[in-house]
Amino acid sequence: MNRLKKLKKIRLHREGTEILIASALLLAGINALVFWAFDCKILFYLLATASIIIYLLMVNFFRCPIRLFEHDTEKVVVAPADGRIVVIEEVDEHEYFHDRRLMISIFMSIVNVHANWYPVDGVVKHVDHHNGKFMKAWLPKASTENERSMVVIETPEGHTVMARQIAGAIARRIVTYAEVGEDCYIDEHMGFIKFGSRVDVYLPLGTEVCVKMGQATVGNETVIAKLK
């Protein structure tokens, strides 16, 4: 019964609609061509099996579970993505803050949900996109050298938080919905990254960290930090 309820809360993200339709037509066309072109059907059966597996992986990638944060959001920072904590450290941030910040990074593998949520409630103060490389997302240089988008949010308490979406070796498109001046809330989608990637969250020094290295995160559910 609980599993059925969870399944009812899962839908496909709109970013995958065109890709899934085009892929279905392409795979169906290739399989039909192979079926009619070869008398030996073993090749067709092998191709059909591979096509089904590939398509199911794509559907799995674009799944978008409906999640609502059921606790008080004051001074709370939630995980903006599903994945695993790969960095918790103080760093010098040079693109916006130009000072020292606490960075918490979440790496998303290709099997994770790739929708991104706002990590805090607040007002969007800055949105920017930088073209760059497509190195493996878990590498330290990926934060500043890979293609990336940043969203800077000012919380109701006056804290400034940045969420940076980073493309990976496979990810080739970052989608960001945030617009400067709009209110944003935990529970809302900030964007989507197509295929393996990473999200960094930059927080004020002194922020209480609520996760540890290697810990799995659930987007819009796992509390990763608490602002002072």
What is the identity of the amino acid at 45?
Y
Type and span of the H or E element at 123 = strand 122-130
Six token digits for residue 196: 């393996």
Query: Considering all CA atoms of the chain, what is the largest pairwise distance in Å, rounded to the nearest integer?
Result: 70
Q: How far apart are the first and last CA of the chain?
A: 40
Residue (of 205, 92, 203) closest to 154 by Cα position: 203
What is the distance between the alpha carbons of residues 102 and 95, in angstroms, rounded to a whole number?
15
Per DSSP, the residues of 159-209 read -EEEEEEEE-SS--EEEE---TT-EE-TTSEEEEEESSEEEEEEE-TTPEE
What is the distance between the alpha carbons of residues 98 and 226, in angstroms, rounded to a whole number?
22
Q: Which residue of the set 105, 143, 149, 197 is catalytic? A: 197
Are residues 163 and 92 in contact, defined by beta-carbon separation less than 8 angstroms? no
Active site residue 143: no
Six token digits for residue 141: 């240089």
Active site residues: 197
